[in-house]
Structure 1
Amino acid sequence: MKTKTNNASVSKTPFTEKRPVLSVVIIELLLLVAMFMAGAYATIQQLSYTAPVLIAFIPISLVLIIFLTLKKSWGRYGFQSLSAIAPQNWIYYLPLVLALICVALNGFRSFTWKEALFFVFFTLMVGFVEETVYRGLILHILLRKKSVTAAVITSSLLFSVTHVLNMLSGQSVEDTVVQLVYALLTGAALALLIVKNRNIIPLIIYHFIHNLLQFLGQDGRGVSVWDYVVLGILLLHCVWLVLSLKKEPAIPRVSDATQEMA
């Protein structure tokens, strides 16, 4: 009887828990394939530069919403009330505000209100999808079986790798390298923040505003001084968060933490 019970419990173990690394690889590959196919279609049809993301991310966002709703997993992946963040922990979001100010200092181009509304929708969708995938699904899966260090580094690397696709857009090597490092440090800072506060909402808001500022920024600009300032801010932010987390008690496994939040 004990053997049957043990076998039954093992069979009910989710695949993501039995094979966390493979699960993460599958999610990343599916996202990359979706982006590559959407990019190829947009190129053939000579669509706008935003078309590949729209083609790939609209169905992905719908799948995520349906999945989180049917599984009743919104809270598990960090969709918590902002009031759940401890008042003293709000200070750890200050570097993100400074980073946004630096991005805004790059300047803006002229745009119509229709363009602005489109980019609000576009960047909000991108923020939701990328944060839910990388700081939600992938980070959550890794934290169930791996250390915080391994989970943060892996999710950040995968987030950075996804931006390799931008090399195909014809931008310079310097722009691409800076963007990869930018994505790596951003991914690490945001992952550390969700480990600390277990809340994905501020991350989506930051991602949304950051991308919106960039899309409404100067056309065709290369890497600026402010971009390097942001890199410095993000690096110091990661160090600050790591030191802060080291002072805290051992962080419970995600499975235990989410049971408490449910």
Structure 2
Amino acid sequence: MKILKNPYWPAIGVAVLCTFFTALGSAIAEMTEAEEAAAYLIMAGGVAVSALLGLLIMKRSGNVMKQYGFRLPDRNGIGHVWMYVPLFLLELVPVLIYGFHFNKQPVVYMVLLLFTLLVGLNEELYFRGLVVGYLNRVSTRTAIIGSSVIFGALHAVTALNGKNLGLVLLQVGFAFLAGLVLVQIVVLTKSLWPGILWHIVHNFLSFSTEDVFDEKAILVVSVQVILLLVYAIGMGISLSKRQALERPVTMG
């Protein structure tokens, strides 16, 4: 892979590319006034195109896939199951407050599962794969902070849709902290798969319960942001102890 003098621009470029195709699928679904299942299918198509382009960019870079994190978690690092428990406990917050609300047609959940599978793969291969790959040329610290800021900033654009300002700010904070936690997991385990799995679960539950996401939304997101903040700090301490912040992380 050729070393770019300024890795920030390609990092931002691939992040915008990822967001563009996701937004394009959503826009087409809205313009066609598609039914719920069809809308998810259209959006899944946009995400699939994005993921294929991302994989093509990885291939053309000359690096093997495992160097971007498509490998099992490193058991020599902090790759044990316990490390992932806080992420999945995070998803219990809306369930405890709202309960389960699976009242849609089965076909909707089937298409929704396909959509969330693609979104989880797509966003992780871009933000924790390509973006981290570019910024890691500077240092691991730059990759961690930079990828989290880009992830939070692009989610801020999608969050600005007329919602309560406080909720929007919380969602942006959630995106930044989630990105911070996920990229630290990649650095510690050298694997994208834990983040992909969590992303799928989070999105599936979020879309499944969006019909009941009412005035309690601020409470739910606030609790999740606090949990993510504590988790991110704990992960940062683990990284500092390993003295892995000032040198590029090696995936191979």
Match for residue 29 of structure 1 among 9, 12, 16: 16
- Shift in CA distance, 95/170, structure 1 to aligned 2, threshold 3 Å: same
Residues of 1 paired with 2:154 and 2:41: CA distance? 17
Cα deviation code 1:115-158 (max 9, x no counterpart): 2211111111000000110011101211122x322221111111
- Shift in CA distance, 53/168, structure 1 to aligned 2, threshold 3 Å: farther
* Structure 1 equivalent of residue 194 of structure 2: 202
Task: Give 3-state SS (helix, strand or coil) of 1:158's partner.
Answer: helix
Amino acid at match of 1:152: I
* Structure 2 equivalent of residue 136 of structure 1: 129
* Structure 1 equivalent of residue 174 of structure 2: 182
Task: Give 3-state SS (helix, strand or coil) of 2:33's partner.
Answer: coil
* Structure 1 equivalent of residue 7 of structure 2: 20
Cα deviation code 1:55-88 (max 9, x no counterpart): 5312112223445467562201111124x33485
Amino acid at match of 1:134: F
Aligned pair count reads 242
Cα deviation code 1:219-261 (max 9, x no counterpart): 051314332221111000111011111111446424xx24xx2
TM-score, length-normalised on structure 1?
0.81
Amino acid at match of 2:248: R
Between stretches 103-112 and 198-207, larger displacement belongs to 103-112
* Structure 1 equivalent of residue 157 of structure 2: 165
* Structure 1 equivalent of residue 107 of structure 2: 114
- Shift in CA distance, 38/124, structure 1 to aligned 2, threshold 3 Å: closer
Instruction: Give 1:169 deviation, angstroms.
Output: 3.7
- Shift in CA distance, 250/150, structure 1 to aligned 2, threshold 3 Å: closer
* Structure 2 equivalent of residue 8 of structure 1: none
Structure with the greater alpha carbon radius of gyration: 1
Cα deviation code 1:77-119 (max 9, x no counterpart): 111124x334854232221121122233232321222122111
Residues of 1 paired with 2:195 and 2:24: CA distance? 28
Task: Name stretches of at least 5 consecutive residues in structure 2 with no aligned partner.
Answer: none
Task: Name stretches of at least 5 consecutive residues in structure 1 with no aligned partner.
Answer: 1-12
* Structure 1 equivalent of residue 84 of structure 2: 93
* 1:193 aligns to 2:185 (yes or no): yes
* Structure 2 equivalent of residue 56 of structure 1: 46
Between stretches 95-104 and 219-228, larger displacement belongs to 219-228
Match for residue 234 of structure 2 among 235, 240, 244: 240
Identity in percent: 24
TM-score, length-normalised on structure 2?
0.84
